[in-house]
Chains A and B, each alone.
Chain A
Amino acid sequence: MMMRLSPKPALVKPAPDHFKQLLQESPFAKRAMPLCRTRDVMNWNGFALVNVYSTVEEEYFAIRNRSSVFDLAPMMKYRISGKDAEAYCNRLVTRDVRKQKPGRVSYVVWCDEAGMVIDDGTLFRFSATEFRLCSQERQIDWLLDCALGYDVTISDVSESIMALTLQGPTSASLLKLCGFKGVENIKPFEIKDWKIGKLAVTVSRTGFTADLGYELWVDAGDAIALWDLLFEHGQGRGLVPIGNEALNMARIEAGLLLPGIDFISSMANVRMGFCRSPYELGLDFTVDLAKPHFNGRAALVAEKQNETSRSKLIGLEIESNKPVNDSIVYSDESCQTEIGFVTSAIWSPTCKRNIAIAQINAPYYGTLTQFWVELYLKRELTWQRRVLEAWPVERPFFAHPRRRQTPAGDY
């Protein structure tokens, strides 16, 4: 008997002269690019995205002090719908999707058969039969591979649905000013629809900053209208557009991971043994071994039972104030035994701590309380080597109570 095949996703034909444009323009670009005074642009999924608008400091402090808006156009968004959508999602990700109610978002991880993480993202549940999966990397190949035998339709809606992420202590009050009545009452990870004039907006209380914040979803055609709505009312709440660099600082403080930075997707991994399981990434809370079979379950059960995790991503705090990007971690001050490396690091301006996410090999994680980090510093063209003491700390490094408070106040 032939298994049911998911319908082929519709083609999105590029313009005949698309080759002239190395990077695509976001629908928000008309508004965003003129505000980018640095001309510092990066490539995310083939889109030109602002890295820094004015200064990283101003943008970072807007996230923690006022309201910030970040363009999510390049994020991948997949619509998963059909009779078997729940069963499909439940086999796909490590969390128990059956427990997720309509109108809720959850942070999920999906693995290959070997229990190695392919990517992480957010799973939106709109109804019994409709989901949306958002991820940083392209996933349609894997999502369709997994659809064999399920009554689901999977479509790539990345270019038809656009989003802005509005983060910061004044974000709820700003949305109220914009006309989102009762927005302060939606709980973390809750989804709700609004109609502001003709503009239909879906709001989810989600974000990447461990602070109060919302993600605003509209049809691609309404992108500019959404941007304008926010900026029309934004001034009183100090709304600032932010680029990737400032957001990255906030996400490290929040202790969140990025594929390609903190872990390598098993779909992109070339060298054997370099990809990681959810346990190894410290994402134990996303794995539900009690639910029935899901991709990677057998491997994860074995890893848990036999304690075969090869390493762990942990939070580190380091003496001094110089970020320890790309550093190797040692168990001893004389740097004789390599035990891991730093994946992300910043000086946290809010916590006033030198923090890092690091991959620490077995058996050193969990047992060792003192690490040594090797850092090369360039000072007036002269390279100097430093060996700094580091110690394990809890992730997230920063998590403000207001991120959970409902109703959200005007902080």
Chain B
Amino acid sequence: MVNKTQSRDARNSRDSGAVKKQQSVQQTSSHRYDVVVIGSGHNGLVTASYLARAGLDVLVVEKNDYIGGAAVSRNLYKDFTYSNCSYVCSLLRPEIMRDLELPHHGLQVIPYEGGAVLMPGKQFLGSSNNHEIQRREFAKFSIRDSEAYDRLSRDVIRQCKFIKPLLLRTPPDPTSFKPRDLTELLYLGQKLHRLGEKQMHETMRFWTMSVSDFLDEYFESDLIKAMYAGSAIIGTALGPKSPGTAYVMLHHFMGDVDGAVGAWGFARGGMGSVTKALASSFRAAGGEIRTGDGVAQIRIKGGKAVGVVLESGEEIKAKRVISGADVRRTFTGMCDPSDLPAEFLQQVQNYKARGSSGKLNIALDGLPEFSALPKGSPFVTGDMHIRDSMESLERAYDDWKNGSWSEAPYVDMLIPSQIDPTMTADGKHYMTVFVQYCPYKLAAGEWTDARRKAFGDTVINAIAKHSPNFKSLILHAEVRTPWDIEREVGLTEGNIFQGELTMDQLLFNRPIPGYAQYHTPIDNLYLCGSTTHPGGGVMGAPGANAARTVLGDIGKLSRSLGQPSYRSLFYKSHGRTAKPIKAMSVAGSAP
């Protein structure tokens, strides 16, 4: 036991130069933490950091030997750094980055410029941050679409403007008459009202329709539709023709990089940089992280959470327990059913978290050439996709429904090492390959090494069709199925959003109707992961909202008010009608 603690301590001090409470590691089991957070994913660490900054004694426990959850950078082959799970950054709320001083703790998000859709027959559709290049690329397929994309951007930005302020707010309970809920409902209502009648209809449609129907209202080129539809099915066990997918697309547009709405970037050093910076910020505020020992059970006494029991058998006492795990893992994996209402447990069991995505991380001996893309084009620096039509996306989904990976999968690949010099040695490259669809359970039986390899080969062959030298450059490839992601990261069925982003599981329905405010049926037990509002992506908003809820419950919220480190936890309105200062100079004096 002692050895383990010491080695953990050694690890902790190795990966952080920040202030650490040495004594807390050796404490006896009688020590009672204010808060124990389950899981060191980005949301767990966001919650933990806010609470530690409020002066609470916070412990984060992590089952893996490394921190990060699904925002990790790992060295699995030589000196190549892989962003194993999440691979691009956009949604991380700037308010949180600022509050928790993440740039100071080493986080840098660098935007990338272009991207491309690769099609059979050396055709491609490039994408670019430059409006004119983008327009000309669209015009290759349809002049009309090259202009319609401005209309699409306008409508998507309108919707984003409506939703974005809701991200860092606790959703109201529509059945409650508490002043807070009524105020929030009113806020929501006012925001809706301000949209105007026509836009209100649009919003309602947007939240419920399929991305295929939605895009039909803008574009005539099937390929351009297929390009947009990609972001509507990522991580989602739905096809482009399934209702609800339009919202998923919006979810991906909601982020920005330095004010550029919908822009995406790389975290310098891989996605692990996000959680490394969070951990550093957390430790600087006096927080403590234990790795390599996960939570076996949440201790519940008299309807109240009182601590956790680790897999090693060690018991940790805490006044409050906050789970960064998804709602299914938390309640069906870490709680005794006799402590929970049967109906609630049933709803948890029915919560949709379906694995639909796989991931390949590939070490390359050089930069692969893509036969369609002109040399020196910016299109290779960003997200390259393989797909050719809406129909093929839907067929790829059919394969998933039938219990196998897509024969012609939707592939989203990036080579961050072109922009981020820290990922690989000179001349070498790292490629991240996101694959949709890949099932958690195969119709053919369990995932085996042979099947995993076959899945990987399907993807590699799909890429090789567009890049003749790709296969010869592969030095190492890590193939991850939803089943692997569940085992390693802990996401139920490997669902990357900790639960589908469909209307029945969003806003005041996320994760379970009646429990959308980070609370659970167990007193002092909270949820803070992507399983809560506003949902998945490396956003941090659920974590910040959960922290606000906890601080409110223990009456610390008002005390933190006004401190710059908590600015984002408080709803604020941007002063539009700021009163001008009184005239200082004599009016009308000739300048």
A and B bound? yes
Taking a contact as CB atoms under 8 Å apart, the answer to whether B583 and A334 are in contact is: yes
Q: Report if B445 contacts A (CB, 8 A).
A: no
Distance to closest chain B CB from A228 (angstroms): 29
Bound together, the chains give a CA A19 to CA B113 distance in angstroms of 12
Interface status of B136 (Cβ within 8 A of chain A): yes
Is A306 at the interface (CB under 8 A from chain B)? Answer: no
Whether the pair A19, B378 counts as a contact (CB closer than 8 A) is yes
The smallest beta-carbon distance between B332 and chain A, in angstroms, is 43
Q: Are A270 and B158 in contact (CB under 8 A)?
A: yes
A contact residues around B130 at 8 Å (CB): 22
Residues from chain A with a CB closer than 8 A to the CB of B591 are 320, 322, 375, 377, 379, 384, 386
Number of interface residues of A (CB under 8 A): 52
Query: In the assembled complex, how far is the CB of residue A82 from the closest CB belonging to chain B, in whole angstroms?
Result: 18
Does A317 have its Cβ within 8 Å of any Cβ on chain B? Answer: no
Number of A-B contacts (CB under 8 A): 114
Given contacts A267-B151, A273-B196, contact A19 B583 (CB under 8 A): no
Interface presence of A368 (CB below 8 A): no
- Does A23 reach chain B (CB closer than 8 Å)? yes
Contact A140 B588 (CB under 8 A): no
> Known interface pairs A114-B198, A372-B587. Does A19 touch B128 (Cβ–Cβ under 8 Å)?
yes
Query: Are A12 and B139 neighbours in the complex by a CB distance under 8 Å?
Result: yes
Chain B neighbourhood of A273, CB < 8 A: 196
A11 touches B140 (CB 8 A): yes
| B132 neighbours in A (Cβ, 8 Å) | 22-24, 43, 46
Is B133 an interface residue, CB under 8 A from the partner? yes
Contact of B587 among A270, A384, A389 (CB under 8 A): A389
Residue in contact with B580 in the complex, picked from A8, A138, A335, CB distance below 8 Å: A335
Binds A, one of B142-150, B432-440, B502-510: B142-150
Q: Which of A138-183 contact B (CB under 8 A)?
A: 138-141, 144, 156
Q: Which residue of B144, B199, B374, B588 is within 8 Å of A17 (Cβ)?
A: B374
A31 to B136, CA, bound (A): 25
As a 0/1 sequence over residues 331 to 361 of chain A, the CB contacts with chain B under 8 angstroms (1 = contact) are 0011110100000000000000000000000
User: Which A residues lie within 8 Å of B563 (CB)?
Assistant: none
* Pair B588/A389 contact, Cβ less than 8 Å: yes
Contact of B133 among A10, A19, A319 (CB under 8 A): A19
Rounded to whole Å, the gap between the CB of A117 and the closest CB of chain B is 15
Q: How does the 8 Å CB contact mask read for A30-55 relative to B, with 1 for contact and 0 for none?
A: 00000000000001001000000000
- Closest Cβ of chain B to A269, distance in Å, is 7
Does A401 make an interface contact (CB < 8 A)? no
Complex CA gap A18/B139 in Å reads 12
Separation in Å of the A373 CB from the closest CB of chain B? Answer: 10
The reply on B585 being an interface residue by CB < 8 A is yes
Q: Which 9 residue pairs across A and B have the least CB separation, nearest first?
A: A141-B147, A46-B132, A387-B587, A14-B136, A333-B587, A335-B580, A141-B148, A387-B583, A138-B147
**Sample of 25 A–B contacts (CB below 8 Å):** A8-B142, A9-B144, A13-B139, A16-B374, A19-B128, A19-B133, A46-B136, A140-B147, A144-B144, A267-B150, A272-B194, A272-B199, A319-B588, A333-B587, A334-B583, A336-B580, A372-B587, A375-B591, A377-B591, A379-B591, A385-B583, A385-B585, A387-B583, A388-B588, A389-B587
